[in-house]
């Protein structure tokens, strides 16, 4: 049995909240727990070479959120199995072609243009022999969970999704955990709760662990003077989360990093026709030879917005053709699709990929799944009205093949969405449209847990608005736990091999209970940490 959760948050006076707010935001700004402000959108598109002129603290919680210690450790213990699972999925070409491709009846790439373009690019590269030039793949993963309550079962954890691309906020999650430790040490949280003590704050060394994964790939590439390429969005506000990885790579491993957007790479990157090395222009020293890349770390390319033209896709595929190790490769990115998450819940599929994993471990993994199905697999096969989904819509969320938050359809909004699918013209039938979506049962989070959520005042806020925000907003909350891991894997001497994998840290994102979506970068959540409950 897992621990029961306490009434939360402990009571703070207005003055205590204001003092915590001031201490927390000052510490955050002093320790790189930062964002670029929204005015970043006014910067030139070539922002990787434009220095930041201002910063704000990231959205944060004032106090950590209670979480059962046993369930936290369960999530950590499962990560190694998840690392192995998704590594093997990424190496199963037939499986990915069937469910993510454009040529299979079940393939979502047939109806989802973004998925289809990525799959088609992958198919072209493999037909050219691209994966014979570099057979290794790197995954920096994050498995996200919510606490789930049900009348007849103990509190449990259920997986929201598994992220295989741009699994962000590792370094900033480490810093929010350190912030909460600082507040406990500096003011003992005014003794508002005996639970707010150091023994209940789990260690968080996510930065070191993620960097170890990147350094492992760099080492496997075998050219010490090569650099790691961070592919970033041109107007990235979450730059500091990425910069901490860059600093750690240099200071701990003596590995240098360069940052480029797809727009920049379109003119600066090329693949050597003889060695297939990825070479990028040295813009800091134009007369110097180009920079060889060992590992490509994608913090972009997970949304259609990153590909405004077909030439952006061609640049992405150029990178895939090189012998640099990709994090993620196109097949690993496709493996993170919601369709794959759904297929993995079907009977016998886990056993297909994890034949060497014990029954108990498989059942623990399976216990984290919520019920899922494809919309085109509605029980009555009547996709023009989706009766099964309509009947159960208040207990469902519909998910497309997208990352980054803000894409799902929840509960009351589902019937109107299904109507819109049914109204699609005959040139694109509702049956085909529905293939791109999965239905997932809603995770029922524990009620009555609250917190104090602090966001930086938006530009142009009046003094009255700033004063009103002191102490943060008290709200009933939902907190999502993410467990990070990495895996370096591929075909070694013709055999599917995992060269190394580890569980490397954790993240908590907290939002007000009224919000369905959960992204920090998209403005729904704040960064948080845990107080473990026995």
Mind telling me the catalytic residues? 142, 161, 163, 168, 338, 399, 403-404, 509
Beta strands in 351-472 (DSSP E): 372-374, 396-399, 409-410, 438-441, 450-454
Do the annotations mark residue 405 as ligand-binding?
A: yes
* DSSP state, residue 529: -
Do the annotations mark residue 521 as ligand-binding?
A: yes
For residue 507, what are the contacts with CB-CB under 8 A and spacing of at least 6? 142, 169, 170, 173, 206, 481, 482, 484, 527
Query: Could you tell me which residues are beta bridge partners of residue 144?
Result: 161, 482
Do the annotations mark residue 239 as ligand-binding?
A: no
Query: Could you tell me which residues are beta bridge partners of residue 159?
Result: 145
Do the annotations mark residue 236 as ligand-binding?
A: yes
Which one, of 89, 32, 133, lies nearest residue 489 by Cα?
89
Do the annotations mark residue 165 as ligand-binding?
A: yes
Do the annotations mark residue 258 as ligand-binding?
A: no
Work out whether the CA dihedral 155, 160, 162, 166 comes out positive or negative: negative
Question: Would you tell me how many other CB atoms lie within 10 Å of the CB of residue 102?
Answer: 18
Do the annotations mark residue 242 as ligand-binding?
A: yes
Do the annotations mark residue 338 as ligand-binding?
A: yes
Question: What distance in Å separates the CA atoms of residue 317 and residue 121, rounded to the nearest whole number?
Answer: 6
Give me the residue label for tokens 């075998």.
222
Do the annotations mark residue 237 as ligand-binding?
A: yes
Do the annotations mark residue 299 as ligand-binding?
A: yes
Q: Do 111 and 433 touch, CB atoms closer than 8 A?
A: yes
- Coil, strand, or helix at residue 59? coil
Do the annotations mark residue 443 as ligand-binding?
A: yes
Do the annotations mark residue 3 as ligand-binding?
A: no
Do the annotations mark residue 271 as ligand-binding?
A: no
Do the annotations mark residue 480 as ligand-binding?
A: yes
Residue 254: both structure tokens together: 């003596």
Question: What distance in Å separates the CA atoms of residue 17 and residue 453, rounded to the nearest whole number?
Answer: 11
Question: Would you tell me how many other CB atoms lie within 10 Å of the CB of residue 250?
Answer: 13
Do the annotations mark residue 208 as ligand-binding?
A: no
Do the annotations mark residue 511 as ligand-binding?
A: yes
Q: What angle do CA 295, 300, 303 make, to 5 degrees?
A: 140
Do the annotations mark residue 499 as ligand-binding?
A: no
- Binding residue numbers for ATP: 161, 338, 399-408, 410, 440-443, 480, 511, 517
Annotated binding-site positions for substrate: 142, 165-168, 236-238, 242, 299-302, 509, 520-521
Annotated binding site: 142, 161, 163, 165-168, 236-238, 242, 299-302, 338, 399-408, 410, 440-443, 480, 509, 511, 517, 520-521
Return binding residues for Mg(2+).
Answer: 161, 163, 403
């Amino acid at each position: 049995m897992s621990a029961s959760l306490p009434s939360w948050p402990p009571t703070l006076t207005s003055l205590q909240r204001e003092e915590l707010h001031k201490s927390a935001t000052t510490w955050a700004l002093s320790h790189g727990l930062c964002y670029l402000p929204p005015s970043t959108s006014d910067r030139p598109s070539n922002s990787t070479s434009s220095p930041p002129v201002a910063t704000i603290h990231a959205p944060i919680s004032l106090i950590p959120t209670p979480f059962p210690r046993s369930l936290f450790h369960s999530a950590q213990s499962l990560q190694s199995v998840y690392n192995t699972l998704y590594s093997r999925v990424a190496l199963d070409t037939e499986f990915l072609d069937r469910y993510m491709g454009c040529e299979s009846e079940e393939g979502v790439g047939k109806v989802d243009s973004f998925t289809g373009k990525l799959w088609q690019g992958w198919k072209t590269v493999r037909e050219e022999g691209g994966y014979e030039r570099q057979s290794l793949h790197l995954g920096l993963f994050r498995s996200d969970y919510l606490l789930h309550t049900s009348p007849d079962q103990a509190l449990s954890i259920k997986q929201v999704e598994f992220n295989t691309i741009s699994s962000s906020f590792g370094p900033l999650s480490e810093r929010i955990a350190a912030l909460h430790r600082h507040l406990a040490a500096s003011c003992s949280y005014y003794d508002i709760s005996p639970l707010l003590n150091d023994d209940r704050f789990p260690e968080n060394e996510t930065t070191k662990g993620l960097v170890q994964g990147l350094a492992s790939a760099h080492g496997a590439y075998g050219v010490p003077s090569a650099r790691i390429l961070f592919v970033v969005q041109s107007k990235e506000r979450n730059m500091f989360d990425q910069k901490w990885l860059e600093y750690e790579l240099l200071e701990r491993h003596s590995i240098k990093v360069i940052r480029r957007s797809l727009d920049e790479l379109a003119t600066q990157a090329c693949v050597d026709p003889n060695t297939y090395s990825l070479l990028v222009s040295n813009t800091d020293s134009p007369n110097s030879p180009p920079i060889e890349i060992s590992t490509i770390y994608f913090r972009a390319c997970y949304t259609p917005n990153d590909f405004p033209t077909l030439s952006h896709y061609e640049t992405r595929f150029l990178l895939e053709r090189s012998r640099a190790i990709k994090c993620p490769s196109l097949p690993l990115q496709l493996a993170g699709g919601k369709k794959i998450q759904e297929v993995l819940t079907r009977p016998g599929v886990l056993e297909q990929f994890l034949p060497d994993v014990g029954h108990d471990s498989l059942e623990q993994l399976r216990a984290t799944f919520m019920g899922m199905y494809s919309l085109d697999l509605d029980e009555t096969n009547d996709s023009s009205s989706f009766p099964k989904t309509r009947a159960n819509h208040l207990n469902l969320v519909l998910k497309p093949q997208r990352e980054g938050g803000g894409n799902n359809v929840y509960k009351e909004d589902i019937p109107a969405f299904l109507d819109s699918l049914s109204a699609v013209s005959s040139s694109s039938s509702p049956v085909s449209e529905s293939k791109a979506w999965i239905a997932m049962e809603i995770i029922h989070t524990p009620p009555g847990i609250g917190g104090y959520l602090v966001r930086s005042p938006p530009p142009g806020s009046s003094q009255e608005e700033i004063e009103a925000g002191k102490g943060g907003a008290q709200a009933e909350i939902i907190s999502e736990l993410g467990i990070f891991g990495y895996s370096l894997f591929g075909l070694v001497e013709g055999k599917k091999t995992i060269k190394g994998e580890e569980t490397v840290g954790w993240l908590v994102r907290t939002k007000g209970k009224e919000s369905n979506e959960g992204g920090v970068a998209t403005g729904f959540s704040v960064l948080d940490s845990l107080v473990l409950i026995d």
